[in-house]
């Protein structure tokens, strides 16, 4: 292996690492649930409002993944 090959590989590795870090911070900023001031629970917490209807459909759950043990709707 030559020094130029090592430099190319290192630059590719560094580029992928930096791109991955930037994409995760972007996703965290854009898709994270906002927190109300003075409250530690998220503003639109799905855990507090998500429920299963009598026919098995989900209410108040905006994401494609669903929790296994959600309460029944009243």
Residue 74: per-residue pLDDT:
79
Query: Which residues have C-beta within 8 Å of that of residue 41, sequence separation ≥ 6?
Result: 35, 48
Which three-class secondary structure state does DSSP give residue 16?
A: helix
pLDDT at 60 exceeding the cut of 70: yes
Q: Give the whole-angstrom CA distance, residue 34 versus residue 72.
A: 26
Q: How many helices (H) and strands (E) does the chain have?
A: 2, 2
pLDDT of 9 reads 96
Structure tokens at 48: 């507090």
12-56 per-position pLDDT tens digit: 999 999 999 988 877 777 776 665 655 555 544 444 567 878 787
Residue 49, SS3 per DSSP: helix
């Amino acid at each position: 292996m030559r020094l130029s090959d090592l430099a190319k590989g290192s630059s590719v590795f560094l580029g992928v690492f930096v791109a991955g870090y930037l994409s995760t911070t972007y996703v965290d900023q854009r898709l994270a649930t906002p927190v109300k001031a003075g409250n530690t629970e998220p503003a639109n917490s799905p855990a507090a409002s998500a429920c299963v209807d009598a026919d098995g459909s989900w209410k108040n759950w905006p994401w494609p993944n669903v929790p296994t043990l959600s309460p029944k709707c009243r």
